[in-house]
Amino acid sequence: MFNSGMLFVLAGPSGAGKTTLAHSLVDKLDGVHFSVSTTTRPARGEEVNGKDYFFVSKDEFQQRIEKSYFLEWADVHGNKYGTESSWVRQQMVKGRSVILDIDVQGAVQIKEKMPSAVLIFVLPASNDLLRKRLEQRNTDSGKTVEKRMKAAAGEVSFMGVFDYFICNNILAQAKIDIESIYLAEKMKIQNIGWPDQALDYHSGYMDGLSFWAGKRIVVSSGPTREKIDDVRFVSNRSSGLMGVSLAEAFLSAGADVVLVSGPAFNMKPPGPVRLVKVESAEDMLLSLQKEIKDADLLVMAAAVSDFAPVSSVTGKIKRQGNRLNLDLEPTVDITASLNSSCNVLSFALEYGDDAVENARLKMKRKKSSFIFLNRGDKPGIGMETACNSGMLLFASGSEDIEIPLGSKKFVAFGITAALGREILNNG
């Protein structure tokens, strides 16, 4: 089954040996590609336009910033450098991994936009060694070396944002280290989709998945936060894992996926999934309105707060007196307000004997084509857990489908495939 490409970001001070390490990985392994950055710095010595960098004027760089051309960009030692967004995403959609050799500011921006990116920090064995390497480059004047040494201390202070550290003391060892990181990441279940070898144990379970190839899917995920003041909020219990798992399943099926997520513990969809971060139910509605325009399916996996404070306070409400009364009002009904023309999969968390009936009523009320019923009264499944099970109900009247207990990832693949089968059979 389709494997999504991964994004590796190598950062650390100039002279740490990032470029050599990045190219060693690209040369050694199939399916890993180097992202050529764009810069306003003039070409040095043997550098070739299009191979080492794309060299552009300051005006051209500025225009590209304004057109959102860059996934990240930064001012480094007085020149601008940036990574082209569309090239990186296209590679990853094709299942290719991409390696970036960029500065620390850029790496921090990538972590924000694409939280599943793998950040690797590279340093030589000592700062004396770094100084020697910069001096030996012959491209930098004494003044530039001093400037870069000072900048190095600043870069190290951001190391805590990174996932891995490589000490580039002995180059041969550093090459083994980076290859090991690549291999470990490649074997992570999140990056594999659902392996064919595992499918053999559940034959038929994934039939229908391929229906989603080339379709555009919008998944809402996580809780929303309704502001009381700048520190406190009203919210729902939700880890965001079900939404991320559904995004992964649709991506594996070959769909173009956008994940609109409230502030969830789990907001790490695979790189090719575009992540839109939102806070409140109002924010989520606005983002979904923009995103669902050409969508084939909207998945409402978000646990949207049903109530929000009538008014909120700027700053922090002081703790005083014995009581604080909160006036709450219902939040906007997102699915009803969207009134979308595409199919909608809703989720229902229901308790007690009437659970199935209530889920069916909710499907009708929300004008959804499908609803996934989660039982709130079954321990170990649903909210803030790793596993799930439930029942898929169809507005068409097709027979309900029981989705058996498994990881949320397994359940997400089951739902995605069952929806594909339903549309193929019943339009």
Task: Give 134 or 300: the residue with its C-beta nearer to ligand 5GP.
Answer: 134
Smallest separation (angstroms) from ligand 5GP to the CB of 7: 13
- At a CB cut-off of 8 Å and minimum separation 6, what does 359 contact? 348, 350, 371, 373, 391, 393
CB of 175 or CB of 408, closer to ligand 5GP: 175
Judged by CB under 6 A, the residue of 4, 24, 40, 83 near ligand 5GP is: 83
Which residue stretch of 72-80, 169-177, 209-217, 275-283 sits at the interface with ligand 5GP (rule: CB under 6 A)?
72-80
Residue 247 CA, distance from chain mean position: 9
- Burial call 113-147: b when 16+ CB within 10 Å, e when fewer: ebebbbbbbbbbeeeeebbebbeeeeebeeeebeb
Residue 80: which H helix or E strand, with range?
strand 79-84
Residues binding ligand 5GP: number (CB under 6 A): 15
Q: Which of 4, 14, 224, 368 binds ligand 5GP (CB under 6 A)?
A: 14
Which range in 76-84, 193-201, 301-309, 391-399 contacts ligand 5GP by CB under 6 A? 76-84
According to CB under 6 A, which one of 101, 185, 248, 256 is a site residue for ligand 5GP?
Answer: 101
Stretch of 23-31, 89-97, 101-109, 157-165 contacting ligand 5GP, by CB under 6 A: 101-109
C-alpha–C-alpha distance, residues 57 and 345, integer Å = 48
Asked if 41 is part of the footprint of ligand 5GP (rule: CB under 6 A), the reply reads: yes
Query: 219 in helix, strand or coil?
Result: strand
Stretch that binds ligand 5GP, among 98-106, 292-300, 338-346, 391-399 (CB under 6 A): 98-106
User: Least CB distance from residue 196 to ligand 5GP, whole Å?
Assistant: 37
Nearer to ligand 5GP by Cβ, of 53 and 233: the residue is: 53
For residue 72, state whether it binds ligand 5GP (rule: CB under 6 A).
yes
> Counting contacts by CB under 6 A, is residue 103 touching ligand 5GP?
yes
Stretch of residues binding ligand 5GP (CB under 6 A), selected from 74-82, 116-124, 195-203, 391-399: 74-82
Rounded CA-CA distance 267/155 in Å is 26
* Nearest to ligand 5GP of 61, 211 (CB atom): 61
Query: What is the 3-state secondary structure of 349-416?
Result: EECCCCHHHHHHHHHHHCCCCEEEEEECCCCCCCCCCCEEEEEEEECCCCCCEEEEEEEHHHHHHHHH
Residue, CB closest to ligand 5GP: 106
- Token pair listed for 266: 């789990």
In the complex with ligand 5GP, which residue's Cβ is closer, 72 or 422? Answer: 72
Question: 101 in helix, strand or coil?
Answer: strand
Separation CA 425–CA 208 (nearest Å): 10
List strand residue ranges (DSSP E) for 207-365, in order: 216-221, 226-227, 233-234, 256-261, 274-277, 297-300, 307-309, 328-330, 343-350
CB atoms within 10 A of CB 328: 14
Provide the 3-class DSSP secondary structure of residue 145: helix
The stretch near ligand 5GP (CB under 6 A) out of 70-78, 250-258, 384-392, 409-417 is: 70-78
Binding mask 176-195 for ligand 5GP (x = CB under 6 A): --------------------
**Phi/psi at 199 (5° precision):** -60, -30
Q: Which of 7, 22, 56, 76 binds ligand 5GP (CB under 6 A)?
A: 76
**Residue 106 within binding range of ligand 5GP, rule CB under 6 A:** yes
Say whether 53 sits in a helix, a strand or coil: strand
CA distances from 87 to 41, 76, 159 (A): 21, 22, 27
Stretch that binds ligand 5GP, among 80-88, 203-211, 239-247, 259-267 (CB under 6 A): 80-88
Q: Does 61 bind ligand 5GP (CB under 6 A)?
A: no
Residue with Cβ nearer ligand 5GP (108 or 198): 108
* Binding interface with ligand 5GP (CB under 6 A): 14, 18, 37, 41, 72, 74, 76, 81-83, 101-103, 105-106
